[in-house]
Structure 1
């Protein structure tokens, strides 16, 4: 199965917006749990992951941040409020952009946050126009991650930093060797992932210098099982919108990812040289 195009992904987010909210909450990304005994809710755990990634950065008041794949704006609102910065978010989902701008207006933050329809493959911004680029769980949707990283390097000011949360091939808990082909089969074309060495090599090739690297795989893995439980509970609501075949395919992905111990998750930052 071929990977969905950006347009198809955008339409998918438009069509499934209400279901996604009920599965993932306002953040639309994975959560972070300390251990298997941690009973933190999915909503609180997703905020934790935002905090974990932002904690790898030095964010100064007045910084200008670009949020790639902004969802409905929750991480951007959280970052702008906590650090007194300006945020521009982009998404390929028209509905996400509209909802994000509506939420910002309601929060009284329209002067510092804005969201627009744009493709990260061809960012519509001048060179060296951002201090930080934020890409939390969005690069796996891109047709070419490494092209996006070159776009990131272009729009970053010298000394600027990129913060990334992304899926990664890792060794399994039982010593199982990473197997990209097996992960692709489980994902049915949704995820295309590589190991850390290839990831870092491409970051350097884009003209960026890797800095912090944190493997949080064991802390984020519970997200898949929790998403599967929520999705199954939404069966009656989902079927009229996406049909039985798509529902079962999505549910099987959640279960497959939950059981695939070599599907990991990394938080990392990199800097554009001065």
Structure 2
């Protein structure tokens, strides 16, 4: 892993209070990166981010009526998409009060179409201390949120408890493909410092964490090259946003864009898509 940085839920919450709106503008309403297939079937940042959400959901083997936990739900866009497309009930947690307001507003707007087939609710909660009884969910997913956790083993262990036996976990997150040196190391360190990243894990780190916390790894794929175009879209919109005369915090947004651009250009930076399962209690799903 990279060097550990001090993070706490309040600091991460303030980060997303500040950057959520500009990131959502850059990413078509989402607050996470997207996947750009080589066949050109994706034409916009929003489509790319939605495709990533769909890839995460596909790995959960969802069935209508399932209860799903979204760890680090952002503005609620992925949770609502998954709930509606799969007829499931999603609970999203975030440490950002701004995101919580946005997610709840979006859920209120969508509720009239949901009926009893699907739902999405959102809570202000820390994934280090999730407020749920054991086996509350059939599945859980975390999109670009584990990197903020001060103790990933604790989070994965508590998610293992929160998901029923036989249930699944899907994770989409940034990772490092190996050691970084020189300018790449500086870019990685600057990104971790500015964006409250505890550390960037490698694939081997993640395999070890899943094994130690009881998860059975099903798939771990590095899709970093397909994600990389998203960095250009994010930095472009951030710079446009910062250039506006009435933009509060323009200097910090511009600095953030510079850091993201340098980070995204590092070939050592990848992006993991993984799925794991909690072993069934009786050997069956």
Does the TM-score normalized on the shorter chain lie above 0.5? yes
Q: Deviations over 1:155-205 (max 9, x none)?
A: 11111111100111116xxxxx55595553241523421211121011110
**CA distance, structure 2, for counterparts of residue 238 and residue 168 of structure 1:** 35
In the other structure, the counterpart of 1:63 is: 66
TM-score normalized with structure 2 length: 0.87
Given candidates 104, 107, 113, the residue that maps to 2:107 is 104
**CA distance, structure 1, for counterparts of residue 39 and residue 70 of structure 2:** 31
**CA distance, structure 2, for counterparts of residue 19 and residue 137 of structure 1:** 17
**CA distance, structure 1, for counterparts of residue 150 and residue 46 of structure 2:** 29
In the other structure, the counterpart of 2:264 is: 258
- Offset of residue 38 of structure 1: 6.4
In the other structure, the counterpart of 1:114 is: 121
| Distance change in 2, residues 1:39/1:158 (3 Å) | closer
Q: Deviations over 1:50-82 (max 9, x none)?
A: 112222231111110000111111111111111
**CA distance, structure 2, for counterparts of residue 88 and residue 33 of structure 1:** 28
The equivalences for 1:167-246 within 5 A come to: 167-170=174-177, 178=180, 181-182=185-186, 184-189=188-193, 190=195, 191=197, 192-237=199-244, 240-244=247-251, 246=252
| Distance change in 2, residues 1:118/1:95 (3 Å) | same
Q: Is the 8 A contact 1:228 1:254 kept in 2?
A: yes
- Offset of residue 247 of structure 1: 2.8
Give structure 2 stretches of 5+ with no counterpart.
281-285
In the other structure, the counterpart of 2:10 is: 7
- Offset of residue 105 of structure 1: 1.3
Given candidates 266, 269, 274, the residue that maps to 1:268 is 274
The equivalences for 1:12-161 within 5 A come to: 12-35=15-38, 40-108=43-111, 109=114, 112-161=119-168
**CA distance, structure 2, for counterparts of residue 42 and residue 87 of structure 1:** 24
**CA distance, structure 2, for counterparts of residue 68 and residue 239 of structure 1:** 33
| Distance change in 2, residues 1:206/1:240 (3 Å) | same
- Offset of residue 21 of structure 1: 2.2
**CA distance, structure 1, for counterparts of residue 159 and residue 192 of structure 2:** 28
Q: Is the 8 A contact 2:135 2:164 kept in 1?
A: yes
Give structure 1 stretches of 5+ with no counterpart.
172-176
Q: Deviations over 1:17-70 (max 9, x none)?
A: 332322223221011111396661101110111112222231111110000111
**CA distance, structure 1, for counterparts of residue 47 and residue 272 of structure 2:** 19
TM-score normalized with structure 1 length: 0.90
- SS of residue in 2 equivalent to 1:166: strand
